[in-house]
């Protein structure tokens, strides 16, 4: 770490004190990282509560499949949406799924009949990832299995890269739950909560009015035959649905075509390699994503349950280290700003980033996770702003493009880019990689 001159400002002294505290945190966190605490400790903070209601205050707020921003979204709701809460977990509220939200079920677990599917074996279903396919919807949804024979309404077919139906998006059961940040909601007023509480007394009112049932009954019967022309609109509906399904099917195709799911041995080898890398420099989030892809490939059978529990324990360890990494990187960034301002390299990089020619600008480095031995080889491009090298993108090895010879240098990458739905990062197939500075770094300060 760079030594700061003796005459420090008050803010610099505060930054150094914070750095010491975070390093102490790393030492204290070590017992949890090596497994002294039980595997279920991460869920020990959940507290159930009597149901109450909240209103979404932010725009396009994500409901996630777990309590934390590391879990993938299962639904996005606009401001003003009223949600039912029945528990909390460290700043995240457990809420009932909003109306229209879906769940995922494997095609191998159901039989199809018209617009519905029937479970052929008990299933907890999967928390649906609207931005991906079956492989990206890996987390079990329900606490208790639905019995074989349960019928579910189909919302959409889900196809894999080969075009085969691999699963179905279905209407989520009433006991489906997700999590929303408590910072994105406020308590609902009685008037706001009334519509959600309303359905309970409504059936009583309907049953208590048999006399009027005759008059309305005649009206609905009259309406369908009277509206014979609108029946022509019915075939138009499938025509509209077809283009909606097509892009959803297309999105998952590129990922499996280019990157196969890693085996448990490959992932464990990457895990061991990552343990030898300093926490600030480790590619933790990508390895979490690879373990989750592996879990999504497992079935609900008893034979695979042991593999799933093992992979989940690895993910929990990685998430603990990821949280520590974010703290260390925040301190490192603060130290960089306290010691010096942006240098000429940062300014030049910003200028280059404004150039639409380049898909990404940053320091090129080798990847510990995607090293060509454990998982397919890719190179990292990392940020250099503020002295903190967060992963910006991955670059694929390409014939005619020298990547290995430019490791450690600041580069601009020209090429075709796609965002990997699992990593949440661009993967670029380069056409050209330009050196933007002749100053080689002494070592990246990276993080993801």
* Residue range 46-93, pLDDT digits in tens: 788 899 999 999 888 999 999 888 788 999 999 999 999 999 888 899
pLDDT at 354: 59
pLDDT at 434: 87
pLDDT digits (tens, 9 = 90+) for 396-428: 999 989 898 888 888 889 998 888 877 888 999
How far apart, in whole angstroms, are the C-alpha atoms of residue 17 and residue 409? 32
As given in the structure block, the two tokens for residue 142 are 């329900």
Angle between the 264-275 and 302-339 helix axes, to the nearest 10 degrees? 30
Which distant-in-sequence residues (6+ apart) come within 8 Å of 247 by Cβ? none
Give the mean model confidence (pLDDT) for residues 425-440. Answer: 78
Give the mean model confidence (pLDDT) for residues 187-206. Answer: 71
User: Is the model's pLDDT at 8 over the cut of 60?
Assistant: no
Domain segments of the chain as ranges: 46-199, 344-447
pLDDT digits (tens, 9 = 90+) for 105-129: 999 999 999 899 999 999 999 999 9
CB 171 within 8 A of CB 102: yes
Give the mean model confidence (pLDDT) for residues 241-270. Answer: 64
Long-range contacts of 55-59 (CB under 8 A, 24+ apart): 55/80, 55/81, 55/82, 55/83, 55/185, 55/186, 55/187, 55/188, 55/192, 56/80, 56/81, 56/82, 56/83, 56/180, 56/184, 56/185, 57/184, 57/185, 57/186, 58/184
As given in the structure block, the two tokens for residue 1 are 């770490």
156: confidence class by pLDDT, cuts 50, 70, 90? very high
What CATH class does 344-447 carry?
A: mainly beta
How far apart, in whole angstroms, are the C-alpha atoms of residue 256 and residue 161? 6
User: Could you tell me which residues are beta bridge partners of residue 154?
Assistant: 170
Neighbouring CB atoms inside 10 A of 321's CB total 21
199: confidence class by pLDDT, cuts 50, 70, 90? low
CB 182 within 8 A of CB 92: yes
Output DSSP code: residue 358: -
CB 158 within 8 A of CB 167: yes
CA distances from 351 to 32, 114, 346, 361 (A): 43, 57, 9, 10
First-to-last C-alpha distance (Å) of the chain: 20
User: What proportion of the chain, given as a percentage, has pLDDT over 90?
Assistant: 28
CB 315 within 8 A of CB 138: no
Q: Which helix (H) or strand (E) holds 254?
A: helix 254-258
pLDDT digits (tens, 9 = 90+) for 271-297: 998 888 888 888 888 899 889 888 888
pLDDT at 10: 45
CB 162 within 8 A of CB 142: no
Question: Which residue do the tokens 């977990």 mark?
Answer: 89
Residues in the chain: 448
pLDDT at 176: 96
């Amino acid at each position: 770490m760079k030594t700061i001159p003796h005459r420090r400002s008050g803010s610099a002294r505060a930054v150094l004190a914070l750095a010491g505290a975070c390093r102490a945190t790393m030492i204290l966190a070590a017992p949890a990282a090596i497994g002294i605490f039980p595997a279920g400790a991460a869920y020990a903070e959940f507290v159930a509560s009597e149901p109450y209601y909240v209103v979404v205050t932010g725009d396009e707020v994500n409901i996630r499949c777990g309590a934390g921003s590391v879990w993938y979204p299962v639904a996005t709701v606009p401001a003003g949406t009223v949600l039912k809460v029945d528990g909390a977990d460290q700043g995240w509220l457990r809420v009932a799924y909003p109306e229209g939200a879906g769940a995922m079920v494997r095609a191998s677990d159901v039989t199809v009949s018209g617009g519905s599917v029937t479970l052929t074996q008990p299933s907890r279903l999967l928390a649906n990832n609207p931005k991906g396919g079956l492989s990206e919807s890996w987390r079990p949804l329900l606490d208790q299995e639905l019995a074989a024979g349960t019928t579910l309404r189909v919302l959409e077919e889900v196809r894999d890269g080969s075009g085969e139906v691999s699963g179905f998006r279905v209407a989520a059961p009433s006991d489906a739950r997700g999590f929303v940040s408590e910072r994105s909601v406020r308590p609902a007023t009685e008037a706001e909560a009334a519509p959600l509480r309303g359905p309970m007394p409504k059936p009583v009112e309907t049953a208590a009015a048999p006399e009027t049932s005759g008059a309305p009954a005649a009206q609905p019967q009259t309406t369908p035959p009277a509206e014979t022309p609108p029946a022509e609109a019915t075939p138009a509906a499938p025509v509209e649905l077809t283009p909606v399904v097509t892009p959803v099917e297309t999105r998952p195709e590129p990922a499996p075509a280019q990157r196969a799911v890693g085996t448990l041995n490959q992932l464990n080898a990457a895990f061991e390699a990552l343990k030898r890398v300093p926490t600030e420099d480790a590619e933790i989030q990508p390895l979490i994503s690879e373990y989750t892809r592996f879990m999504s490939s497992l079935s609900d059978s008893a034979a695979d349950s042991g593999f799933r529990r093992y992979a989940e324990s690895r993910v929990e360890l990685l998430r603990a280290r990821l949280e520590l990494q974010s703290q260390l990187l925040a301190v490192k960034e603060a130290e960089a700003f306290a010691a010096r301002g942006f240098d000429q390299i940062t300014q030049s990089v910003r200028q280059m980033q404004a150039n639409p020619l380049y898909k990404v600008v940053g320091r090129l480095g080798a990847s510990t996770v995607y090293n060509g031995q454990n998982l397919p080889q890719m190179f990292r491009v990392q940020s250099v702003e503020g002295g903190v090298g967060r992963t910006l993108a991955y670059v694929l090895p390409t014939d005619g493009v020298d990547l290995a010879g430019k490791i450690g240098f600041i580069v601009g990458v020209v090429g075709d880019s796609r965002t990997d739905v699992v990593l949440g990062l661009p993967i670029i197939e380069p056409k050209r990689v330009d050196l933007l500075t002749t100053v080689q770094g002494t070592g990246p300060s990276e993080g993801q």
